[in-house]
Amino acid sequence: MKTFVWKDLSPAERVTALARPENRRDPAVAARVKAIFDDIEGRGFEGLADWAVRLDGHAPDAVRLDAKTVDAARARLTADDLAAMELAVENVRAFQAAELPGDGPVIAPKPGLSLQRVYRPLNTAGLYAPGGTAPLFSTLIMTAVPALVAGVKNRVCITPPARDGSIHPMMIAAGAASGLDSVWRVGGAHGIAALALGVLEGIPAADKIFGPGNKYVAEAKRYATERVSGLAIDMPAGPSELLVIADDNANAKLVAADLLSQAEHDADAQVVLVALSSDIAEKIVIEVTAQVERLPRAAIAKASLDQARLFVVSSIAEAAEVSNLYGPEHLAIQVGDLDGIIPQLSAAGTIFAGTYAAETFGDYAAGPSHVLPTDGAAKAWDGITVRSFLTSFVVQRATKAGAASIAPAAARLARLEGLEAHALAADFRLEV
């Protein structure tokens, strides 16, 4: 970890120290993504298949989640595996259902005028579940279940296959438990292009694309919104991030475990430690060094730790300042005065407050979606919620009396802007 003492840094040095890894916005990545979109838009499914064979090692296809396929997948899992997955699905479903908004109240600013916000589900949601070396069936749950609760008609899930072309049996079991009828075996930027451009056979183009991914997937999502008119994405959701604030009462073993839980995701993942003393910082670094050696994905975690940052601060206020400037995807807090620091925090995808609130719980089974904004986007974006799968609009009604109460003001304002047709459209209502 690169270590800094916060009070010794100038404002410019603080910005530099908090910067994300440079290769997250590599021009070569952007150029590759554009080339993929160009080819797939020009050649359709044939172009997608060529990229899938080149990058995934296998042609894209849909795995139908029929009874035979699901039963075979479940048979490869233990009863405890399935119970854990079903608990996660139920917790996510319950949390999202509790947050499902109903149509808003009817507002009447004047007699005869009524305004009401109403909600409608998206028609087609494209769901990306990272796969390959780490099949994130948890992400499938965290996207497919909120979309189901929202009432989305078409939920199209894609995931990269393993090297042998297979999909992890839990991906199939979780897909079925989340109400999906199929999972497409294709990933990467080419999978995002397929969702955006509508080249999957029998599947309409996505209205909105959801899910995290590596730098290629994150760039493909961003680029898709430029390339396809009207297409939306959930948020910038690239390589994982975790910032931990720890005081001298923090459990160094737990803090280290939390940091490594994100570092093992991806060499481009970034973890940040904000320590309220050099003493606790040293204890945590010793734990990280010891624990990383025991990880199966130690090489990936060590590569991520090369991008890690350690800031020594002198107060809770300074700790909050560091966190707010960084805007982490995940924020874990192990300090004695939780009620004192939380009101000072303004930018985080989600917060895990206290010793027992493990980031891993949020990743898998607590209920809120673990798809969260990265790269500082938490300063302005929310993570996925059931509302992410809804659109809303206001229905405006007016009686003759209602029109009379507002038309003169509307017409006057329109004429002040020099828009006579607008003014006449208001005036004429008084003549009907």
Please name the residues in contact with 78: beta carbons below 8 A apart, sequence gap of 6 or more: none
Tell me how crowded residue 124 is: count the other CB atoms within 10 A of its CB: 18
pLDDT of residue 11: 96
Rounded to an integer, the average pLDDT of 303-325 is: 97
Same domain flag for 199 and 229: yes
The answer to whether residue 73 is domain-embedded is yes
Q: Residue 181 has which token pair?
A: 């009828």
Same domain flag for 70 and 209: yes
Tally of residues, the chain: 432
Same domain flag for 188 and 81: yes
- Global pTM reads 0.92
What CA–CA distances, in Å, run from 417 to 355, 404, 406, 420, 427? 58, 21, 17, 9, 16
Domain boundary among 234, 262, 279: 234
The answer to whether residue 107 is domain-embedded is yes
Q: What is the pLDDT of residues 183-201, one digit of tens each?
A: 999 999 999 999 999 999 8
pLDDT at 24 over 70: no
Same domain flag for 321 and 228: no
Same domain flag for 263 and 224: no
pLDDT of residue 134: 80
pLDDT of residue 239: 86
User: What confidence tier does 23 reach under pLDDT thresholds 50, 70, 90?
Assistant: low
Same domain flag for 159 and 101: yes
The answer to whether residue 390 is domain-embedded is no
Task: Decide: 110 and 406 in contact? Cβ < 8 Å.
Answer: yes
C-alpha radius of gyration, the chain, whole number: 25
Determine the Cα–Cα distance for residues 271 and 246; give it in Å rounded to an integer. 13
Q: Which of 219, 241, 264, 329 is catalytic?
A: 329
pLDDT of residue 21: 81
Same domain flag for 277 and 372: yes
> In this structure, is the dihedral angle defined by the CA atoms of residues 372, 363, 131 and 21, taken in order, positive or negative?
positive
CATH code, 263? 3.40.50.1980
The answer to whether residue 30 is domain-embedded is no
Rounded to an integer, the average pLDDT of 360-370 is: 96
Q: Please state the domain count of the chain.
A: 3
Same domain flag for 215 and 287: no
The answer to whether residue 55 is domain-embedded is yes
The answer to whether residue 388 is domain-embedded is no
Max intra-chain CA distance, the chain: 82
Same domain flag for 164 and 98: yes
The answer to whether residue 35 is domain-embedded is no
Please name the residues in contact with 50: beta carbons below 8 A apart, sequence gap of 6 or more: 39, 43
Closest CA to 381 of 272, 238, 214: 238
Mean pLDDT of the chain: 96
- Relative to beta strand 154-159, strand 124-128 is parallel
Domain boundary among 211, 234, 257: 234
Q: What is the pLDDT of residues 115-143, one digit of tens each?
A: 999 999 999 999 999 987 788 999 999 99
Same domain flag for 48 and 145: yes
Q: Which domain holds residue 420?
A: 399-431
pLDDT of residue 266: 87
10 Å CB burial of residue 360 (0-12, 13-18, 19+) is: middle
The answer to whether residue 314 is domain-embedded is yes
Same domain flag for 96 and 195: yes
Q: Residue 33 has which token pair?
A: 């993504």
pLDDT of residue 247: 98
User: What confidence tier does 238 reach under pLDDT thresholds 50, 70, 90?
Assistant: confident
- Does the annotation mark 90 as catalytic? no
Q: What is the pLDDT of residues 262-285, one digit of tens each?
A: 999 989 899 999 999 999 999 999
pLDDT of residue 383: 95
Domain boundary among 191, 213, 234: 234
Q: What 8-state DSSP symbol labels residue 239?
A: S
- Does the annotation mark 330 as catalytic? yes
Q: Which of 330, 417, 420, 431 is catalytic?
A: 330
pLDDT of residue 308: 96
Same domain flag for 80 and 181: yes
10 Å CB burial of residue 415 (0-12, 13-18, 19+) is: middle
